[in-house]
Chain A
Amino acid sequence: MSPRSKNSPAAAKRKRRAPERGGRRPKKQTCEFCDRTKGHVDYKDVASLRKFMSDRAKIRSSRVTGNCPRCQRKVARAIKNAREMALLPYLGR
C-alpha cells in the first residue's frame, strides 16, 4: 500500500485539518491516557502523573498536554488524590 493512499491514517489526518494560512501550526493532539490505558488513570502511578504537572507541581492544562476533556478530568482527580496521600507535592521548589 502506498503511503499516499486514500485510507492511510496520515491522509485522513491531513484532510481533517483546516487549510493553514501561515501562523502557528497546531501541535498534533494526542491523549496519552486514552490510547495507552484505555481511559483508566491510577492515582498511585506517580511517575506518569508527574508528566502532567509543571516543575512547580501545578497541574498542566489540557491545552498544554493535549489530553481529551475526559482524560484531563481523570488526570486532575488522580493528581489531587495522590496529593492527599503525600505521593505528589502540592507545591514544588
Chain B
Amino acid sequence: MRTYELMTIFRPEMAETDVRTEVDRVAGALTERGAEITKNDFWGKRRFAYEINHLTEGYYSVLEFQSEPAAIVDIDRALSLSDQVVRHKFIRPD
C-alpha cells in the first residue's frame, strides 16, 4: 500500500454540485479498486496562475488515499479522457 494524493481540476462552467458528485464518483472508483480514502478536500473555484486551454479558473479537488500502485492506472486514463477534467495529477507525498 502506498500513499497517494490526487489533485484534479474540473472545468469552471460546471455547477459546484456536479463537481462534487464527480469527485465522489472518482473516490468511489478508487475504493472499488481497493483504495482507502483518507482525506477528501474540495477547494472550490480558484484562479489559475496561467491560462490553460483559454480558461482562467477551475474547481480544485484533492483526494488523499492509500492504495496499490495498480489501482490508479485505470483512473489515470479515465481522468485523461474526461471532458470535465482540465488537469489531474497523482503525487506521492514523501
Contact = CB atoms under 8 A, between A and B. Distances in A.
B50 A86 contact: yes
Contact of B49 (A40, A44, A83): A83
B23 to A, nearest CB: 16
Interface in A33-92: 39-40, 42-44, 74, 81, 83-90
A34 to B, nearest CB: 14
A84 B87 contact: yes
Contact of B87 (A42, A74, A85): A85
A89 B50 contact: yes
Nearest to A86: B48
A81 B49 contact: no
Chain A interface extent, by class: 10 to 19
Contacts, number: 30
A43 B91 contact: yes
A43 B58 CA distance: 18
Interface in B34-82: 48-50, 52, 58, 60, 62
A86 B52 contact: yes
Contacts of B60: 85
Contacts of B87: 84-86
Contact of B93 (A42, A83, A85, A88): A42
Contact of A86 (B9, B62, B91, B93): B9
Given A42-B93, A85-B89, 11 more contacts: A40-B93, A81-B89, A83-B49, A84-B87, A85-B7, A85-B87, A86-B9, A86-B49, A86-B50, A89-B50, A90-B50
Question: Shortest 6 CB-CB distances between A and B: which pairs?
Answer: A86-B48, A89-B49, A86-B49, A88-B49, A89-B50, A85-B7
Interface of B: 7, 9, 48-50, 52, 58, 60, 62, 87, 89, 91, 93-94
